[in-house]
Structures are given as C-alpha cells and as structure tokens.
Amino acid sequence: MVVKENASLKSLNTFGLDVVAARYARITSREELYKIKELPKPWFFLGGGSNILFTRDFPGTIIHIDLRGRGIDADNGNDVLVYGMAGENWHEFVRYTLQLDLGGIENLSLIPGNLGTAPVQNIGAYGVEIKDVFHELEAFDTENGEFVKFNAQDCQFDYRQSFFKQKGKGRYIITKVVLKLSRKHKLHTGYGAITSELENMGIHAPDIHDISRAVVRIRMSKLPDPAMLGNCGSFFKNPVVSKEKAESLLKKHPEMPSYPVSDTETKIPAGWLIEQCGWKGKAEGNASMHKQQALVLINLGNASGAELYAHAQRVKQSVKAFFDIQLEEEVNVL
C-alpha cells in the first residue's frame, strides 16, 4: 500500500482544488484492504474524485480505491453478467460493454467518476438508472474486516440514493460491481433530447451505439470538461415534489418542465429552477453556475472550496425563496 503524508489532492478532485490530506493511501489490491485498520481516522473513501467538494484540508486519511479489472462473470446467450472493479473509469466501462454489443447502460455514457461510486449514487440519466441493470456488488466491511456481497434489495436504491449513502456510509468500501446486460437490446429514447439529437445525426433506426453517441454529443454540448473548467457535473439533485405542489407551480409557470415519477410525486429539473432565479452563467468571485447548464457549479480558476460552497448556498436560498423548493446537493461536501 502506498501511503503519503501531507499529500496534495489537486489531481484527485475534478474541481481542481489544491487541498491537502494529512495522509493519503492508494489501494490497488483487495489484500491491501485488510491493512487499512492501521491508518489513522477519520477516513474518507475516494473514487474518481468527481463527486466531492473539499471545503478545507482533510485532517485524516484519504483512502483512494484504485482497483482495476473488468470482464464477464456469466453468459447465458441473451443476458450477460459483466463485472468491473471499483477503480475502473465509468465511461470507459460503458465503452467496453458497447464493444461487447451489450445493451443497458448506453444512456449513461460520459457520466464522470468510477465504477465503484456508481451504485452509491445510483447514477442515472435519460430515463435509465444503474439499479435497472444491477446484479450484485462486493464490498469490504471495515468494521468486521471481511468481504460481503450485496444484491439490489440490499442496496436500497432510490433516486440518487442507496444504502451506501445512508446507514452504510463510511463502513463499506465497494470493490467490485456486477451488472446484468443484454444482447437483446431494449432502447430508451423517451427523453426528448435523445430523440432530437438522433434526428440531428440523421439516424432514424438507432442502435445502442447510436444512443451512446447521441448522449455523448448532448453532454459535451452542455457540460464543461473538468480538465478545462473545474466542476463535478450536476451539483444538485433534481427535486421530487408532491403532485399537488407541482400542479400549483404549473399554474404560475405553465412552461415549467416536469416529469411524473409516481401517482403522487413529480420531478422538476433543478437546472430550470436555478435558471429562473437568474443564476445561469452568473459569477460571484471565482464561482459560477455554468452558462450552458445551470445545474453545474464551476470553478472559474482560483476559487476555494469554501467559496464554491458559499455560492451553492446562495443558489439554494434563492430557489427556496422563489419556488419554496429546497435543493439538495448531489455531491459529498467535506
């Protein structure tokens, strides 16, 4: 295990914040996990660094999960169990499944981060969530010092939620994820953005590869490259409100986009709410919401984590005051 003291985390978080960890440990094998009990607490388990906002230096140990490897666990013809280790880049894993002509996660192309954090967030986009194709995962229980397996029910998936963000937070380190994908492709083109992008591409009978390309084009047109402009993708969750609340808002704002999620609840795009409050592209100091996608908090170059967080709080307060909707951060804030 590689352990460093007073380690810079600038290259390990997509906001590009030059914060320092008292200790940094890089895990590259399952066997090394048995040794983490020797590392001083507090701990924080780091994946691809795309879902974290450091507001200060970290006083404990950053444990960087960098396990690599991918392949097929089982193949029955139509359904295929494909695995990836936690340190695998998510988009590269999507590309790998497309090379195998396996459908199921093409709508999740170009989402930042690593495979190990995908179930934690129950990542989703364009009508698909990881829970839809999830089979099982392996995790290391830091309390008992043993590897355990979780099925979909164990993970308690919900919208951008899971057991690992609630009761299991800080205890389990996800090491391996297994997804159930298919050679019998079921396309998800219900979101208008995909349909219109496919039309722009001149494609009228799309396959999974076309959908992936369309999603990549959409995301690249809206979302800044973290290598050029520090960000972590969507900073806030899309709020889910009661059906009655949504209907009341639609009377005042008939142009408001909304998506029923059940008979009693409706999802409203957070980016739209933020834009209506005047924050899209508006900078204060070195922090701003992106000019092309108001849901994305960006570091204009020299912002501190505290400055970025303060800007996010101003946005939240504005949306609460105007729409009476409380936005919730999608990222971990330390």
Spell out where 49-141 has E strands: 52-53, 58-65, 70-75, 79-85, 124-125, 128-129, 134-141
| 112-279-158-82 Cα dihedral, nearest 10 degrees | -10
Catalytic residue among 106, 129, 197, 330: 330
Q: Classify 292 in phi/psi space as left (phi over 0), alpha (psi -120 to 50) or beta.
A: alpha
Using only C-alpha atoms, what is the Rg of the chain? 20
Q: Is 160 among the residues known to form the active site?
A: yes
Q: How many residues does the chain have?
A: 334
Catalytic residue among 50, 212, 234, 304: 234
CA–CA separation, 307 and 302 (whole Å): 10
Q: Is 242 among the residues known to form the active site?
A: no
Nearest to 314 by CA among 293, 272, 285, 334: 285
Q: Is 212 among the residues known to form the active site?
A: no
User: Is the dihedral angle over the CA atoms 249, 250, 255, 261 positive or is it negative?
Assistant: positive
Give ∠ CA 99-105-108 in degrees, rounded to 5.
110
Catalytic residue among 160, 213, 217, 219: 160
Question: Bridge-partner residues for 172, per DSSP?
Answer: 141
CA–CA separation, 319 and 84 (whole Å): 39
**Which residues are the active-site residues?**
160, 234, 330
